[in-house]
Amino acid sequence: MNCEVCQLKELEVEHFEIREVLRCILHTIVFHRALGLVRPKDVDLELFEITYVQCGDVELEKKIDEKIDHFISWVEKHPNKKSQICLSFYEVKSKQPSWFTNKTERLYWEQWYVNLNVTQHPKHHSSKSHHTKLVVDPGESATEERSCRRAMVEASLREVLFQIIKFVNEKKDHVPPISEGVIYFPYEITIPSSSDSAFGMDMIKRMLHSGHPTMLS
Amino acid sequence: MASSHSNTHTEAAKLEQIITEFFYKSLLIILESRSPYVSSRNYSGEQIMSSPSSSSSSSSGVRPRDKWFNLALRECPSALENFDLCRQSNFEPVVVDVILEQKQLDWDPVTFSPKSDLVKHSSSKDKNSFFWNSDQEESGCEAKGEKVIERWFVQHESRKGRDCSSGSRRSSSNNLSALYKKLILLLRSLYVTVRLLPAYKIFRDLNSSGQIRAFKLVPRVSSSVESFTQKEEAEMQRFWFTPVDTSCGRLCLSVLYRSSISDISSESSTPMSPQFIPDYVGSPLTDPLRRFPSLPVSQGSPSSLPFSRRHSWSFDRYKASPPSVSFSPSPTHSESHALVSNPSSRRAPPMSLPPHPPGASLPHKKNTNFDEYWPSPNFSASPSPSPSPSPSPSPPIRIPGGHLSKALLRSESAPVNIPVRKLAGSPALSCKQNLPPSPPLKISRADISWTDNNMGPMKSGATIEKLFSFGKGDGQKYSGVNSPRTSFFRSSSRSIQDDFDDSEVPCPFDVEYDDMDPGSRPESYDRRGNPSDPNEAGLFMNRKSQDAAVGALVQMLKKAPPLRQDIPSSINFSEASRPEMWNNNIQEQNQNTEAVTVEHDASSIITSSRLVASMTTADALEELRSYKEMKNLLLSDDGKS
């Protein structure tokens, strides 16, 4: 089984936007992979005029939030770094034990990479304009800039969401058959761990398991 | 991974069903996200925004259709209708135009809801085209500006020269389940996409309750449409969902959309606050039951002044009547309890209150308290001699009047009322004699508080009505009567003069209640003296201007038919339950039994008059006659006593 990979367009976000943006993206992806009976739940973002869809599973929501928390704390320790979050879907196969793992193995059939560039740009900027510049209208220009920046983030977030939709539309064959009673395919969310090397190892491991990922984008 | 579908059907049949359901589901997804007030956004179980039309119901529970494509959505009746068309058309392409209409801001204050706006009928030559709108209404008025902001295509492209059956021969059930899975994926992405397109922002705006917009969204479903001009098309972008191959063709889904409509949506929005009256006025659309009895008057009278007029009336009353009134403007039912509990000498007023027809008062009370009824026993007790239905119109009648008025309205015949009136009148007199004179003013106060009562009780009125199985119409009519009474009690218990503020006076509806009070108080009656036509005395309208009264009457007549349906139950109620209540009250009050009896008779008369409406004319006349006899009997009894 092929493992399809989708590299999502990098988003430049501020720290306070991380949570909403990630929620939006991750839930949108999972909704497309929740092929069991779902009662969709619309969620309006607070920061952007975007509505995304959750599949209404509390546990899923909790897990995603947890991961986001971890990610945010990681970001705080590693400021100004590009970071990547991987959402992978797999099947559990209990096949013959390979030399690599035990009885059960995860067959990854899809991986989504969410790329974030967390900036602190606005903070510095606003403080600068306040203190140093000739004060023409610091408030106004700052506000304007902010809303402009926000519009750009919103547009690129929207773009990412469409990227997801397109990917879902174009790649359907690799999606495993639906099993009765299962709402969404097993998934895992990987965030950069405290040591980058571990994260890299994890990736390598996963590649070994799932075969050669096809990079698209 | 085998398909979960049974093999009872042939592959082709299954395929056809899958395609059919796909059409339906995709329509549903599109319509639901473009039709304000019907969307899943509001779906926390209850219907959204008080829109009466919003459909069905339960969002909980899984309906059979929900299982299709594992996507549980709200039902959308219109989508269903459209879907039937699709089915008939044998998978002809379905086009959904989402139209943005600019509209004038002249809202109908009563209706106010944007939803009530009708779909513009574009003169489409296509017979198959139909319009979808939540109200299922259409207006002939031309749309000011229509703009197609989205055009969705759902279609099944059949392969030429090969029919489904041949295709199905090759297809295995695996293929079918693969197809099904792909369609699930397609619908998931459709579901997400409709929320990402610019039109959704408009939908969101329309759905947010705080604003009245100068535009609306109208999804229009048809099987064919005029194609866009090149220029139009140039302004639009297209998004293709990847077609899904079936064994005999492929399912295609695409959308043409305008990417720049945000300017429109943000341009004009009007704060709705000024027009937002429905909760208080009770827009008929929102809840017919809530229509106040008095409202009809406004219709009758040409001007939109009714409210102010009423105010002035109430105000006058207020002036006329000594400030002694202790009405608390904000009537709470609980307060009425308090009164009862402390029925001091004050009691007189309650007693003076006419025995409300059991049925009448009950329907509107949220929590009907027997206590409230206690006054009525007194009333009955007062078989005082003065049956004199003196020309003085109304007051006495008032209480009974409420009932009577209903009856009258229905039967339209004045005669019925008159008898009642007399009865009512007698109680009032008796009250005067027997009871300590309560300040007439109090009674009038009741009027004042009326407005408040209306709001509270009336809202709950519907429920109560159901409980008692009253006709809706009855409920409406009764409501007026009811609320006054409640307030009255309150006032008596409290006897706080301060409560009576000028501010309260303004209540539009106060005026009507005055009538009731008058009945109880002879004195007040005299004072009022003016009166209104005796015939109408039964009605609460006596105070009103003549046109108003006529308007009200007309309105009532119009409503009459529905009322009849529930008559039987109401009768039962009044006859059976009521007496019991009365008895209870009586015991508590130590009233004499006779009073009870009298009361009972009176009530039965009233009810019977109600009945009349539902019968044939002959029956009605017959009954009327018997009632008259009864009435006379009663009156004569009263006179003797």
Mean pLDDT of chain A: 80
Mean pLDDT of chain B: 53
Q: Do A169 and B186 touch (CB under 8 A)?
A: yes
In whole angstroms, what is the distance from residue B11 CA to residue B16 CA? 8
In whole angstroms, what is the distance from residue A64 CA to residue A86 CA? 12
pLDDT tens, position by position, B280-303: 433 344 444 444 444 444 333 343
Give me B271's structure tokens: 């704060």
DSSP state of B574: I
- Chain B CB contacts of A28 under 8 Å are 192
Q: Which of B4, B67, B242 sits opposite A170 (nearest CB)?
A: B242
Q: Do B196 and A161 touch (CB under 8 A)?
A: yes
Q: Do A175 and B66 touch (CB under 8 A)?
A: no
In whole angstroms, what is the distance from residue B145 CA to residue B162 CA? 45
- Chain A CB contacts of B1 under 8 Å are 176-179
Q: Which of A38, A168, A170 sits opposite B72 (nearest CB)?
A: A38
User: Residue B26: which H helix or E strand, with range?
Assistant: helix B11-32
**Residues B56 and B75: beta-carbon distance below 8 Å:** yes
DSSP state of B279: I
Which residues lie below 8 Å from residue B107, measured CB to CB, with a gap of 6+?
B212, B275
Read off the pLDDT band of B561 (50, 70, 90).
low
Question: Among A169, A172, A173, A180, which would you mutate to test the B interface (most chain B Cβ atoms within 10 Å of its Cβ)?
Answer: A169
DSSP bridge partners of B219: B98
Read off the pLDDT band of B531 (50, 70, 90).
very low
Q: How far apart are the first and last CA of chain A?
A: 20
**Distance (Å) from the alpha carbon of B587 to chain A's nearest alpha carbon:** 58
Give me B533's structure tokens: 């036509």
β-strand pairing of B119-120 with A82-94: unpaired
pLDDT at A109 over 60: yes
**Distance (Å) from the alpha carbon of A149 to chain B's nearest alpha carbon:** 18
DSSP bridge partners of A112: A6, A87
E-strand ranges in chain A read 4-7, 11-14, 41-44, 51-54, 82-94, 104-119, 187-190
pLDDT tens, position by position, B430-447: 334 444 444 444 333 333
Instruction: Return the exposure string of B470-509: e unless at least 16 CB atoms fall within 10 Å of the residue's CB, then b.
Output: bbbbbbbbbbbbbbbbbbbbbbbbbbebebbeeebbbbbb
Work out the angle between the directed axes of helices A138-170 and A121-131 (0-180°, nearest 10).
Answer: 170
- Chain A CB contacts of B177 under 8 Å are 177-178
- All domains in chain A, ordered by first residue: 4-210 (3.30.900)
- Nearest 5 degrees, angle CA B369-CA B375-CA B380? 125
Q: Does A181 touch chain B (CB under 8 A)?
A: no
**Residues A167 and A89: beta-carbon distance below 8 Å:** no
pLDDT tens, position by position, B345-370: 343 343 444 444 443 333 343 343 33
Q: What is the ipTM of this complex?
A: 0.83
pLDDT at B485 over 60: no
pLDDT tens, position by position, A11-43: 999 888 999 999 999 999 999 999 888 889 889
pLDDT at A197 over 60: no
Number of Cβ within a 10 Å radius of residue B580: 11
pLDDT at residue B143, as a whole number: 44
Read off the pLDDT band of B46 (50, 70, 90).
very low
**Distance (Å) from the alpha carbon of A10 to chain B's nearest alpha carbon:** 19
- Choose among B452, B480, B444, B460: nearest CA to B360: B480
**Distance (Å) from the alpha carbon of B241 to chain A's nearest alpha carbon:** 6
Q: Among all residues of chain A, which has the CA nearest to that of B2?
A: A177
In whole angstroms, what is the distance from residue B98 CA to residue A75 CA? 43
Q: Among all residues of chain B, which has the CA nearest to that of A25?
A: B192
Give the sign of the dihedral formed by CA A51, CA A52, CA A55, CA A61. negative
- Dihedral angle over CA of B524, B526, B531, B536, nearest 10: 70
Give the sign of the dihedral formed by CA B515, CA B517, CA B522, CA B525. negative
Q: Do A161 and B67 touch (CB under 8 A)?
A: no
3-state SS assignment for residue A83: strand
Q: Which of residues 8-47 of A touch B (CB under 8 A)?
A: 28, 31-32, 34-40, 42, 44
Backbone angles phi, psi at A86, to 5 degrees: -115, 125
Give B214 or B315, the one with higher predicted confidence: B214
Question: Among A42, A50, A161, A183, which would you mutate to test the B interface (most chain B Cβ atoms within 10 Å of its Cβ)?
Answer: A42
Q: Do B188 and A32 touch (CB under 8 A)?
A: yes
DSSP state of B577: I
- All domains in chain B, ordered by first residue: 11-279 (3.30.900.10), 287-640 (no CATH)
Backbone angles phi, psi at B425, to 5 degrees: -60, -40
User: Residue B130: which H helix or E strand, with range?
Assistant: strand B130-131
In whole angstroms, what is the distance from residue B549 CA to residue B342 CA? 37
Read off the pLDDT band of B87 (50, 70, 90).
low
In whole angstroms, what is the distance from residue B604 CA to residue B263 CA? 65
pLDDT at B238 over 70: yes
Number of Cβ within a 10 Å radius of residue A89: 24
Q: Do A168 and B184 touch (CB under 8 A)?
A: no
E-strand ranges in B247-293 read 249-258, 269-271
Q: Do A42 and B182 touch (CB under 8 A)?
A: no
Q: Does B44 touch chain A (CB under 8 A)?
A: no
pTM metric for this prediction: 0.50
Q: CB-hemisphere CA count at 13 Å for B310?
A: 30
Give me B248's structure tokens: 């005999």
**Distance (Å) from the alpha carbon of B372 to chain A's nearest alpha carbon:** 48
pLDDT at B225 over 60: yes
Q: Does A140 touch chain B (CB under 8 A)?
A: no
